[in-house]
Amino acid sequence: MAYPWHMNTYSPSEKDLRRSALDFYGLLSLSTILVFVTVVVCWLGHLHRTHFTNPTSLSRRVYRLKWYLSTPLFARSGASKKTYLLSTLWILFLLCMVTAGTGDDYFHLTKRIAHTAASLLPAQYLLSSRFILQYTSIVTYQTHETLNTAHRWLGRSIYTLITLHAILYINYFVQLNPDRFFRQDVLFGVIGLGILNTIFITSLPYYRRKAYRLFYGVHQLLGILILPVCWFHVVYIRRYILLCGAVYVVDFVGRWSVTREVKVRVSVFSEGLVDLRGVAGWLVPSPSTPNTPTLRPSNSTVATGEVGGKGVKVPAGSHFYVYVASMQHNRGNPFTICTADSKDGEVRFSVRVRDGFTRELQDMADKDITMMVEGPYGISGVNMSLGFGYFDSFLFVTGGVGITMTFGVLRELIKWIEVDGLEKGGKGRVRFVWSAKGVEEAAWPVGELLKGGAPTYTPDVDIYISGSKAKKEREEEVELEDLVEDERLLPTTIATTDEEEEEERGKGSDKDDDRKIDGLRYRYAGTGITPKIWKGRPDVYRIAGEFCEEEKGRRIGVFVCGPDGMREDVRRSLGRYYSDSMIWVWEEKFGH
């Protein structure tokens, strides 16, 4: 081969030296990922937490650096500075692991590439493990959801290295040794490459969105099948295969241990919104079981028994993976739990109807179904292990069915305020902003509020009604201020008959909306919380900015659960005030 690499032959002792080098760099790569990176992540998480409890100059610098790196590098939207920085560091790390000490040895370089990829496999399987990451999140402040991007990035890195390894070896076979291509170890390598290609193609965003069920099934099946193929391909990477198998088994057993059965009644709450209500006996503590802390992390719940288990409380904002064996699209969908009452065992999920599994749920309206729920998962409980008392003010920004996450946290916050108070002697504030699709959807929390009784503390609540589908088309991308202005700017010229009829229909529709909104206010009147109800979409950029301006200099906790655009606008607005206040923000989203 052309300079700088050559296909040389070596003595047995020289081969042993190269084998030792492969083992060394493989273990170095694995330990760097599993030990060094993990320690750094835990340390940074601890510093970030310390900044809200006992600020130091170091924690302050880390806090500001984190905000700076979270902003886009080139434009208003797009990849953040952190993404580019970590990507660059990761590429440099891989180049070092692959090329260090290889010299001009073609075969050593080729094997080093594959050995480095194999050494990354245990970390890749660990990043895909829901149970293990959830139970270590009390230390790392990271879960399966927050690390999903790292899982994808590492997967692409492994695929790239393996593909490059295959290309270099195929080049050798074609040039010097074509008969070697049909040996057993090479054939297993070709099979493994085919498996990786299938996983990679089905994982592309287009196919993942269009055929998620296919992607998920292929990912699960081939992710296990690749292990025995690699085992028989080459003996020197078997230590990494054993680690992958151990991670998979531990995670599988753990997920099985937190999977429970619950029978629910399916009902249609409003257009496009389905309610699942039932009673889970395993949530209720048995009379003989004292409600004492367990060795499990405080952010997790493992309920045991069918009627009367340990009944540890499910953290607000947690989500479960739901399986219904009788349904065609049964793939384990993550849904945030709205209610998990340890007193009577009541559970409630509210699901936005789209396609596939949720459409099947809607078709089961007014029927009872048995489903398996795996969880709880989520990082809201981990982050709030900081304690509400570490914040002075709270802002909740929610879009649509995202209310299922933020409303649960809000209820827990109100309970805490009623017992401990909000910044005693201060002027702490809680504001809750929700953009609902319609009046019926906006009435969703009423039942939960009535059940809990009128609170002694009432937050500032704003509900924005975006309106019906027809109204949305008339008010496409219109903010509240624009809506008010448009109502003044009526046509001054003579309109056609069709325009007049359309205007009259619009007025009638507005009157109907006003009556519905008045009815909504009446329904909320009995809950002890009186929200301000607006028509139109909220300007969350302005709302977040005004809140931070009013609470400048305080410790602000922000919860955002909504569309990407909403989260981006809130993040941009908060970025103007992070140096004046201490702002902690949690953006709820799934990366599936």
Q: Using one digit for the tens of pLDDT, what is the confidence trace for 162-197?
A: 999 999 999 998 888 888 888 999 999 999 999 999
For every residue of 91-124, which 3-state class applies, written as one string? HHHHHHHHHCCCCCEHHHHHHHHHHHHHHHHHHH
Q: Are 107 and 7 a contacting pair, CB within 8 Å? A: yes
**Cβ atoms of 414 and 459 closer than 8 Å:** yes
**What is the percentage of the chain residues whose pLDDT exceeds 90?**
35
Order across the sheet with 532-535: list the strands.
Answer: 532-535, 460-465, 430-436, 393-399, 555-561, 582-587
Which domains are assigned to the chain? 12-255 (no CATH), 258-378 (2.40.30.10), 387-488+497-587 (3.40.50.80)
Q: pLDDT digit string (tens) for 291-312?
A: 433 333 333 333 333 444 566 5
Query: Are the CB atoms for 315 and 299 separated by under 8 Å?
Result: yes
* CB half-sphere exposure, 247, CA atoms < 13 A: 22
Name, in order, each residue with C-beta under 8 angstroms of 71's C-beta and a sequence gap of 6 or more.
Answer: 80, 81, 575
Considering 150-159, 311-320, 322-331, the range whose residues carry the highest mean pLDDT is: 150-159
Calpha distance 528→458 (Å, rounded):
7
Task: Tell me whether strands 460-465 and 532-535 are parallel, antiparallel or unpaired.
Answer: parallel
Q: Does residue 364 register a pLDDT over 80?
A: yes
Contacts of 498 (CB under 8 A, 6+ apart): none
* Per-residue confidence band for 489, with pLDDT thresholds at 50, 70 and 90: very low
- d(Cα 529, Cα 508) in Å, to the nearest integer? 29
Peptide bond connecting 315 to the previous residue in cis, omega within 30 degrees of 0? no
Classify the phi-psi angles of 168: left when phi > 0, otherwise alpha if psi is within -120 to 50, otherwise beta: alpha
Distance, CA of 291 to CA of 137 (rounded, Å): 23
Report which of residues 423 and 541 the model is more confident about.
541
251: phi then psi, degrees, rounded to nearest 5: -65, -40
**Rounded Cα gap, residues 147 and 127, in angstroms:** 7
Per-residue confidence (pLDDT) for residue 93, from 0 to 100: 94
Q: What are phi and psi of 44, to 5 degrees?
A: -65, -40
Rounded CA-CA distance 472/467 in Å is: 6
Residues in Cβ contact with 113 at an 8 Å cutoff, skipping those fewer than 6 apart: 98, 161, 164, 165, 168
Predicted structure pTM score: 0.83
For 182, the token pair is 């049909």
Give the DSSP H/E element, type plus range, for residue 380: helix 380-383
Convert the pLDDT of each residue in 77-126 to its tens digit. Answer: 677 888 889 999 999 999 999 999 888 899 999 999 999 999 999 999 99
> Per DSSP, what are the bridge partners of residue 583?
556
Per-residue pLDDT of 202-226, as tens digits, reads 999 888 888 888 888 899 999 999 9
Dist. CA 372–CA 332, nearest whole Å: 9
- Counting every residue written for the chain, the total comes to 592
Lowest mean pLDDT segment, chosen from 95-109, 465-479, 551-565, 573-587: 465-479
Place of tokens 């370089």: 109
Going by pLDDT thresholds of 50, 70 and 90, the confidence category of residue 524 is confident
Q: Is the dihedral of CA 219, 222, 226, 228 positive or negative?
A: positive
Whether the pLDDT of residue 475 is over 70: the answer is no
Backbone phi, psi, residue 584, to 5°:
-110, 130
Beta-carbon contacts of residue 279 (< 8 Å; ≥ 6 apart): 262, 263, 344, 345, 346, 347
Q: Is 432 helix (H, G, I), strand (E, B) or coil?
A: strand
Q: What is the pLDDT of residues 525-537, one digit of tens each?
A: 878 888 999 989 9
